[in-house]
Amino acid sequence: MIEKSAPLITNEAVVLGILLVILAFIFTTSSSKHPGWTKFYKVVPSILLCYFLPALLNTFNIISGEYSQLYTVASRFFLPASLILFTISIDFPSLRRLGSKAVIMFFAGTVGVMLGGPLALLAVGALFPEVLHSGQEPVWRGLATISGSWIGGGANQAAMLEVFGASKALFGQMIAVDVLVANVWMGFLLYWSQKPHVLDRLLRADSAPIKALEEKMESMQEGQGRIATTTDIMLILGIAFGFTGLSHLLADILAPYFKENFPALEQYSLTSAFFWVVIVATTAGLALSFTRARNLEAYGASRFGTVFLYFLVATIGMSMDLNAVLDNPKLFLIGAFWITFHILIMLLVARLIRAPFFYVAVGSQANIGGAASAPIVAVAFNKFLAPVGVLLAVLGYAVGTYGGYLCGLMLQYVSQLLT
């Protein structure tokens, strides 16, 4: 195997500057009202560019993750901090006010993702055994990152990348599957959001409560945002990184304990320090959501989490080689089977409980698309319904770590069954 030569730029400060300039460019253009940029970002998701542009620089050997410690910093410090800041904002009383059907449909989507992945791998792997490996690497490790993405979001996806140890080359292929399949499904949802009555009739749904929900969500939006002071910002960072430190402290105790006393649990990642970092950080965020710390969301707690997450995404991108993205095209077949099972589960549950198509669309997108696109689908139905997408997507951050991990274990079992 020919070793890759040193990249053109190895100075960490320069690489950091390049990544942040790329992120600033993406965020600025994606929020632009210029018709050209608006049309562009309707086709190309901004998070895809956060992977793609650094990956392009790595492919041409301008920068390289192999020669940088930025990914280590982002994954060990920023990732758990972002998990804490995303889950800290969960407002369980507001979720209850949405009604049981909204929450039921969200969890139906979660179950559809958790079961759909292993079943898709079983079906496609039985027909095409070569799909089970990418080079010498088992594909299930990469598919586990999609489960994190499709249940929670980018932070959960990155957590599964670390927990199950997929290579960056395999992860690049999974990003392609994730983005293509998820955006085809989102396009379908946006199309039918303009004709919900058609699907409501097929689902035998009572759509009358949606009007009341619109009024409720409109009132919930009043007074949400506040100007953060320096004290607020320092408190947000103190909580995020204080509990990140605690998660590392407990991980340093728990991982060696399980490794020494229960070595057989290594196959479930319980001997991995990073597994415990992710679990403790997510659980801490959930616990904090029941305290006054939840009010920090009004000062932009999740915005800090978003900044941390996108920086992590950029550092992952600079370790990806775009030449390897389409090495295994049958992975897209797994993605297609996977999303189809998710859809069938959601439609079946919706018909059983007579849930309106709005709950199907937003519950699904809160899983598959996360906080970036669930509000977009909700707004396509009515502009006052965006908070429904936000609330359910934030719930996805909470369950994404646990659901993605369990799905990863099932994917591992299926892979071992077929090999």
41-69 per-position pLDDT tens digit: 877 778 778 888 998 998 899 998 888 99
| Residue 264, CA distances (Å) to 122, 195, 260, 287, 313 in order | 25, 53, 10, 30, 32
Residues facing 137 on adjacent strands: 134
Q: How far apart are CA 408 and CA 141, in angstroms?
A: 7
Residues contacting 5, CB < 8 A, separation 6+: 61
Instruction: Answer yes or no: is pLDDT of 325 > 70.
Output: no
Please report, to the nearest 10 degrees, the dihedral formed by the alpha carbons of residues 305, 166, 178, 374 taken in order.
Answer: -20
Distance between CA atoms of 45 and 148, rounded to whole angstroms?
18
Alpha helices (H) in 193-300, listed in sequence order: 196-202, 208-220, 230-261, 273-288
Q: Determine the Cα–Cα distance for residues 175 and 367; give it in Å rounded to an integer.
A: 16
Mean pLDDT, the chain, rounded, equals: 85
The pLDDT of residue 2 is: 45
Domain residue extents for the chain? 12-220+236-418
Query: Binning pLDDT at 50, 70 and 90, where does residue 116 land?
Result: very high
Give the pTM.
0.74
